[in-house]
Amino acid sequence: MSNVTTQSLLEMKQKGERIVALTCYDTLFARLLDASGIDILLVGDSVNQVLGGAPSTLSATLEQMIYHTRIVRRGVERAMVVCDMPFLTYQVTPDDAVLNCGRVMKETACHAIKLEGGQLMAPTVRRLVDVGIPVMGHIGLTPQSVHALGGYRVQGREDAAAERLKADAKALEDAGAFAIVLELIPAPLASQISKSLTIPTIGIGAGPACDGQVLVLHDMLGLNDQFSAKFVKKYAAMAEDVREAARLFAAEVREGRYPGPEHSFGK
């Protein structure tokens, strides 16, 4: 299979082929997901929530995102690796955005960056694209604005809000974004936006009409069994598998059954 690029994603949309994306934070999972045919590995600023137990994405730093993106990239041969730009690394000025996003591209060898925001961020997106940095947009529920939005709730239910999201999507497309994440918006609205754009939409909690879907890896695998949401489908129950394996290991160590002769070295 050929490598996933911005152009191949556009061709997938044109052909009606669905795009598959998952978050990823390390080399081991990157190898497994890449070998499984996942198209996009998003190194999310959710890393501090998923791996660090933080209450939001706001605490993620540029150094963290560079580290995790670099090690994900090591495990990938085919998939597109996209780095989520953390809070305040691109919102202050377009110059800041170019410097920080350029640093990410140089130091991680990722294929693109993702940033949140619609019409207000369009000039920044255009600036990044003009210097050769591919940009994935993100509208709807934008986690870095969770406090301003009043929590994690569906966006665009009111007519005026829906029209703003449509305008946001069009502004990002016009600015040169190659794809847009639609998070937590009503399915009919996501369908309208997806049909109106020439670039692909990647949905999370946005219904089935988006051109692709993304989930947080640990949610999809059932590793994070303390979190549930209507839009999450758990394709495994790995949290219980981990607990059971750990219990078995502990029991065998305490009973003297591990390590056995087959796990030990002679002279």
* Residues annotated as catalytic (active site), given as ranges: 183
> What gap in Å lies between CA 141 and CA 164, rounded to an integer?
13
**CA dist 66 → 48, 87, 113 (Å):** 13, 14, 11
**CA dist 148 → 99, 107, 113, 153, 196 (Å):** 27, 32, 23, 12, 28
Q: To 5 degrees, how large is the angle CA 208–CA 197–CA 233? A: 20
The residues facing 213 across adjacent strands are 20, 203
> What gap in Å lies between CA 140 and CA 225, rounded to an integer?
25
Tell the burial category of 102 from Cβ atoms under 10 Å away from its Cβ (0-12, 13-18, 19+): middle
Cβ proximity of 112 and 142 under 8 Å: no
> What gap in Å lies between CA 263 and CA 7, rounded to an integer?
50
